[in-house]
Structures are given as structure tokens and as C-alpha cells.
Amino acid sequence: MQKTHHKKVQSSGDVGNLLKMFSKNKLLILLITTLFVFGGIVYSYLSQPVYETYSTIEVSGDKLDIDLMGKKGLDRDSTLIDTEVEVIRSRKLISEAMKKIGYQIRYFVKNNYKSSELYENSPIELSQLKVKDPRFYGVKFVIQPIDEEHFKLYTDKGGILSSLKAGVLEDKSSIEYNAEHTFGQKIDTPFFSAVINKKGIVLGKKFYFVVLDKNSAIDDISRRLSVFPIAKNGSIIKMIYQDNNPKRAKDFLDALVDTYMSKSVNKNTTEASQALAFINAQLEKVKVKLKKSAIKLENYKEENNLMNIDSESDVTIKQLSRYKAELSDIKIKESAFQSLYDEFRKGNYGAVSSLAKDYPVLETLLSDFQRAKSKKITLLSSFTENHPDVEKANEEISDIKMALESAIESINDSLREKRRSLEDTLYSKETTLSKLPEKERELADLKRTYEVNQKTYQFLLEKQSEMSITKAAKVSGNRVLDRATIAKKPIKPNKPVIIIASALLGLLSSILFILMREFLDNKIKTKDDFSAYSDIPFYGIIPHTKNAQKMFVLEDQQSVASEAMRLIRTNLDFVSTKKRSKVIVVTSTVPGEGKTTTATNLASVFGSGDKKTIVISLDMRRPMLHRVFALTNKVGMSTVLSNNNELKDVIWEHKKIKNLDIITSGPIPPNPSELIQSGNLDKIIEELRESYDYIIIDAPPMGALTDAILLMKIADISLVVFRSEFSEKEFLKSLEDMINSYDLENVGIVLNDVKPKNLSQSFFKYSYTYK
């Protein structure tokens, strides 16, 4: 009894089958890979080039003067560096830099299906632009020159320029415009008004422009801009910017750096500006007082006929004037010092650096503080906060901070004490002056007031000059280390990488496609499909032939198909059977697989030798054998089995093959299965065995019929024909079930109609062809 087992394919280990499958589909792999490479080339050609440039700046130490004794230590330094990074990335700074290069208006020219952006060298220019409808932003307006003076302006239905990838306003599809205009004349539309000027040769080209709204332009720049500190604990910031135009990339980064540096200078001069504004305000007040006091003094002298007072009183008045001027000076210094002291208490130690020239102790302490801070930063690059050297540096910074606070408080106390001393001295002198005669006293008061105002005014003039010089000398502590340069080569698209990636992606896609197709394909194509799924004996392959409906072994004996049929005959000769003659049943799983063609050509091969062969048609439902041999079908097996004819009366002798006889099926009976089971068939087969070496039976398909099973039970060998790219793999499983269920023996498989693409090279190499 023949037992069969259904195999499960171990695809991961079946490297040989995979290689065969890929070799069979090598043209498809080549085609898909070529298409992907072509797509990569087209993408590289159409993609806008992206250029990159960078600039670096160093943030001054003054910006990093902080309380290093906080819990986070050096992280506060990082926070302030991060603050400067965010300032550079701020929308305000980007907006100011963007205005300097005209980023919002973009010009393009179309050449050979590719759009190229123009910058600075655009032959068209949009001026006097006034936007009336916000939907105007982001819409592509095409300029098509008609002649040297006129052009056609219309909107492109493509909408937003995809290369910008900027999120602009919605509902742009409603904007439509199409009209002719003259270069240099004002265009007034419901959406905008502007003048389009011609600056170069425009004929024969098509231009278009896109205007981005402010927010969209800033968003676009923000996506292209990277700002970051080069080192975590450092003070150098790097700015990288990418743009489709290398010159604009450089211009924007220069504008951004210049804007940032300008803002830094403005910030540094704020204190000097505030002090200068205070002095200017005081000057105006004192100027008015000085003028009034001078007028009063002159009027009093004329009215009372007084010219001078005695020398003692004059000395007292001059002392009073000097003391009052000194008191005014002290009050101004005290007010300015208090303002700087408030900044110092907030942690801005650089604020008191302006006092260093007047108070050397502050200069020494500030220098020590900066040195200690730098030492700690150096230590933290190698150690943690808990390292003894770092803790020692923290203690040193704390001591210096306390010394600074103590020194500043001492200076403040000294100013207060000096002011009180002057106030006491003024009170004593004013008491002495009050003892003078009334007219002299009044004259002395007026003269004293005048001199005080005059000295105060002179003092303020000197301070105004000093503060003006100080403000003018204020520069940013930051410095530019590297200016942006014009990139020579784009960083994107990287054409070699894109083409290689496209090729690899195409190769991978083709492999996945083939694997998926093979996985979803349930058709049997090659011999390997049988060996992978079943252990049923395989007797041979019949290649595809144009004469499949005819006797191809007679039509072309030298064909590959004829040789394949002779190989099957040889294989069947080696199958041992119990009896001398062999009964071979040829069937299939479903109609259309080529069982009749296989049976007739196999019988012809056997009959062409010295073996007596007969082919019988027992497919009495759909008989085809008589058509192949061009015989009538009025009598045959159906009439013999129904006892209407003798066996010898229905045997046909082949005209060309002397050892080949034929019995057709005869008229289609109403009960084919009953005739086969009647018992007459066994007698007929036994009778034929006595006269023939090979009895080949063309049986009906197995399918849902029992006819084929009955015939296979009496056969010595059963051949089941499968058709390449037609029979399903599930049919093989059904065949195994039938073999095991009905205890069928000597069942083998023949694969029919195999196209050249499904044949191995070894098949052609070792197939012998008769000459």
C-alpha cells in the first residue's frame, strides 16, 4: 500500500528554491529595479538643491555672571546659554533678519520641466505690493511674457508651491486671476495691487512668484535653522541654515548675526542710556533754576543799590555754595549707586563693574570672582559637584560673593555718612549766615542760590559728557567667530546616494513582490512544487507545445516534448508489477489538465517500439480520444460493456504505428459508473493482457466522480496529470487524501504543458533529441 505525506515547506532554509525562483523572475527584478532607479534619477533632477552654511558667535562672560552657589551649579550656565539660543531662534529676531533680505517674495523660472528659484538676479521684480485679501498669500502667480512690454498674469491651479512646504492659508482654490498687463504699470486686483518691473531678458521663459505671509515665512525659516551650543559647558553658539539658494543662505545668516549683535549692544547701553536720561532731565531743571536765580540776584542788587557784601559773609556764602554743590553731587551718586546695587542684588555682578575705576577694591574682587568662576567651570568638565576640588571652588566663590556684598554695602554706608556730614555742615553755615543784616542776608541767600545752581549745572554738564562717552564706548561683549560663507555644493539631494538607495529599494521591492506573488499564487508551475509539498513519485515533465491537441510525438519526433514523453516511458518501464503486461491508467484531478493528450502520446511512444500497446478511452462522459485519432465513436467500450458488441469488433489499428491499437469510448451512456462496475471490465482487461504488453486507459478526472478511483484500483500504474500554471496546489493535497483513503498503489505524477520559463536549464542540457 502506498502511503504519502504532505510536506510543509521550510522556506527559510530552502535557499536553493529561492535562488531558482529569483533566477526565473530575473527579468521582472531587472525591470522593477530599473524603474526605481529611473524614478530616483527623475527625483534627483526635479528636487530643489539644498545648500548649507553656518556661523559661530561667542557669548561674553558678562552674560554668564550668575549665582554659582545655586543647587544646580553649572546647569545655570547652560540655562543662560540656552536662553541666548532661544533669543536667536525667536520669531522677532528672525522676522527682522528676514526683512533685510526680502524673504517673503520668491521668484521662480521654469526650464525643462524643472522649476529653479531666482535670487538677486531675477529679471522680474515685484514692487509697491499691497495685499488686499489674505488668501493671496501662498498662491502661485505665473508671468508669461507676450512681448518686451506686455505679459500675461494668471494663477496656477497647482496652488501652493510644494518645494516651499510652508503652511499657508487655506481655501486658495477660490483665487483665480487671468489678465494681460504692461511691465512697469500698476496692477490693481481684488487680491493685491503691485507693479511688476522688468530687469532683464524675459522672452521665451515662464516665471512665477509666490508671496508668503509673515508667519509662514518665519515658520519656513525656523524649519531650516538650527541653533545650538557647540559644547554643553561652553560659551560658543553655532547657527546652521539651509536654503535652496547658497547666496540667500549666507545673506540670511549674516543678517541674523548682525541683528543679534545689534540687540546685544542695545541691551548693554540700556543702563548708560537711563543714567544719561536722568542727567539730561536734571540739567533742564537746574538750567531753569540757574536762570531764575541769576535774574533775582541782579534785580535785587539794582533795587537796593547793593553791589557786594563784606569778605566774611562772602566766604561763608562761597562755603555754603560749595557744600550744597557737594551735597547735590553726593545725592546723584547715591541715586545712581542704588540703581546699580539693586541690579547686583539680582545677580548681575557685571552691573557694578562701572564703579571699579572709582573703587579699586571692587575691581579686585570682580576679577577674583571671574577667575574663581572659570576655575569651577574647568573643574566641572572633569569632576562632579561633589568632588572636593569643586566644593573648594564653591567655597571660594561664596567668600568672594560675601566680600563683594560687604564692600558694596560699605561704599553705600560711606556715601550716606558723607551726605549726613554735609547736611550738618550746611545747617551750621546757614545759621551763621542768618545773623547778617537783613539786606545783606537776603543778598547772600540769592548769591548762594545762584552759585549752587551754577556749580550743580557745571557738575551735570561734566557728567553728561562722561555718560555720553561711556554710552558710545559700550559695545557688545559677544563676538563673531565665523561668518557665513557661500556653499559651493548642495548637501541635498545626494544624487549618488539616491540612485543607489533607489536601486536597493527597487531590488528589495521586486524581491518582496515576487515572494508575495509566490505566497499568494496557489498554482503548480514546476517539479519543485511537487517535491516541496509531497512525496508522491514524479515520472516526468511534458514541455509546452503548440501541437498539444495532436499527436506531437508523430508530428515532430525530434521535439523536446517528444523526448520528454520517451523519458516518461523509460521511467514507467522500471516500475515493477506483478503481471507481465502493465495496465496504466491516465487521469487528472480536474478537466483540462491534458490527460487525454498524455495518454495518446504515451501510447504512441510505447507502440513505436516492439511492445504491443493498446489505448482505451473510458472517459465516457466527455470522450476526446476518438478526436485525437480522427476515428468515429459509434461503437466502443460503452457498447462492449453493455454487451452490444464484441471486443474484437471495436478495436482500431493505427495506420502508422503497427504495434498500437485503439478502442474509443463509444456512445455516451446514461450510466457510465454502473458499466464500469458491472464486472465486464475486469474480464475485458484480463483478455487484453493476453494480447498486449501495455494497456493504457484514458480515465475520467478524479474530481467528485468515482470512475477514476475504480479504474485506479485495477491498474498496475496510475498516472495523475497536472497542468503547469493551471492546476492548484490544493489538488495535490486532495490526491494524497484519495491515495490514503482508497489504498491506491503505484500512483505517480506527470506535469504537463510546462512553459520554458518554468523549465530548469538541466532539463534542456540532458534531454536527448533523436536526429
| Stronger pLDDT, 267 or 554, i.e. the higher one | 554
Average of per-residue pLDDT across 708-726 = 90
The pLDDT assigned to 364 comes to 82
pTM (predicted TM-score)? 0.53
The pLDDT assigned to 765 comes to 53
CA proximity to 456, closest of 638, 576, 293: 293
Model confidence band, residue 13 (pLDDT cutoffs 50, 70, 90): very low
The pLDDT assigned to 613 comes to 93
The CATH superfamily label for domain 527-766 reads P-loop containing nucleotide triphosphate hydrolases (3.40.50.300)
Q: Which DSSP category does 699 fall into?
A: P
Q: Which three cell numbers stand for residue 770?
A: 533523436
Measured CA to CA, the distance from residue 506 to residue 429 in angstroms comes to 103
Determine contact, residues 344/44, Cβ cutoff 8 Å. no
pLDDT tens digits along 425-459: 877 766 765 655 555 656 666 776 777 777 777 77
Measured CA to CA, the distance from residue 159 to residue 171 in angstroms comes to 10
In 467-537, the DSSP E strands lie at 479-482
Position 91 pLDDT exceeds 90: yes
pLDDT tens digits along 95-115: 999 999 988 999 998 877 778
| Cis? peptide before 667, omega within 30° of 0 | no
The pLDDT assigned to 467 comes to 65
The pLDDT assigned to 113 comes to 73
Measured CA to CA, the distance from residue 341 to residue 357 in angstroms comes to 16
pLDDT tens digits along 632-656: 999 999 998 888 999 988 999 988 8
Architecture of domain 50-102+220-269+480-491: 2-Layer Sandwich (3.30)
What one-letter code names the amino acid at 263?
K
Measured CA to CA, the distance from residue 708 to residue 435 in angstroms comes to 153
Shared fold status for 50-102+220-269+480-491 and 527-766: no
Non-local CB neighbours of 478 within 8 Å, separated by 6+ positions: 57, 58, 59, 60, 63, 260, 261, 264
Model confidence band, residue 26 (pLDDT cutoffs 50, 70, 90): confident
The pLDDT assigned to 161 comes to 40
Summary count for the chain: helices (H), strands (E): 23, 21
| Stronger pLDDT, 577 or 190, i.e. the higher one | 190
The pLDDT assigned to 68 comes to 36
Among 90-94, 515-519, 760-764, the minimum mean pLDDT is found in 760-764
Percent of the chain with pLDDT over 90: 27
Model confidence band, residue 223 (pLDDT cutoffs 50, 70, 90): very high
- Give the DSSP H or E segment for 17: helix 15-24
Average predicted confidence (pLDDT) for the chain? 80
For the chain, domain boundaries: 15-47+494-520, 50-102+220-269+480-491, 105-212, 273-473, 527-766
Strand partners, 747: 718
pLDDT tens digits along 48-75: 889 999 999 988 755 444 333 333 343 4
Position 116 pLDDT exceeds 80: yes
What one-letter code names the amino acid at 389?
D
Determine contact, residues 115/163, Cβ cutoff 8 Å. yes
Model confidence band, residue 412 (pLDDT cutoffs 50, 70, 90): confident
Position 250 pLDDT exceeds 90: yes
Q: Which three cell numbers stand for residue 254?
A: 549674516
The pLDDT assigned to 35 comes to 94
R_g of the chain, CA atoms, integer Å? 54
The pLDDT assigned to 152 comes to 93
The pLDDT assigned to 486 comes to 93
Average of per-residue pLDDT across 628-635 = 90
The pLDDT assigned to 549 comes to 66
CA proximity to 88, closest of 262, 243, 232: 262
For the chain, what is the largest distance between any 2 Cα atoms, rounded to a whole number of angstroms? 179
Q: Which DSSP string do the residues of 435-457 spell out, in sequence order?
A: TS-HHHHHHHHHHHHHHHHHHHH
Q: Is 724 exposed, middle or buried (0-12, 13-18, 19+ CB in 10 A)?
A: buried
Determine contact, residues 719/585, Cβ cutoff 8 Å. yes
